[in-house]
A and B are shown apart, each in its own frame.
Chain A
Amino acid sequence: MFTKDKIEAIDHKNPPKPHTPEALAKLNDAQAAKDAAKPVPPVAVTPSPKP
Chain B
Amino acid sequence: MQTQPSVIATGDFLYFAPGGQAFTIPGAGTVGAAAKPGPTDPIWTTFALGSVKKPAVDKITSKEVKVTAPMPGTGIITTKQVLRTEHDLMMTVEMNEISRLAVAGFYKSPLIQLTDTGFFPLSGPSSFTGWLKRQRYDASNGLWVVDDWWVDLNVTDIKAGENNVINPTFAFTWLYSALAGSAI
A9 in contact with B48 (CB, 8 Å): no
Q: Is the contact region of chain B dominated by helix, strand, or loop, or is it mixed?
A: mixed
Asked if residues B181 and A2 are in contact (CB atoms below 8 Å), the reply is: yes
Q: Which of B39-47, B66-74, B82-90 has 4 or more CB atoms under 8 Å from chain A?
A: B39-47
Interface residues contributed by chain B, number (CB under 8 Å): 35
Q: Report the minimum CB–CB distance from B114 to chain A (whole Å).
A: 4
Number of A residues near B (Cβ < 8 Å) is 29
Taken residue by residue from 130 to 170, chain B's Cβ proximity to chain A (1 for < 8 Å, 0 otherwise) reads as 00010101000001001110000000000000000000000
- Find out whether the CB atom of B13 lies under 8 angstroms from the CB atom of A27: no
A12 within 8 A of B: yes
Interface residue stretch chosen among B24-32, B54-62, B118-126: B24-32
Of A10, A24, A25, A35, which contacts B135 at CB under 8 A?
A10
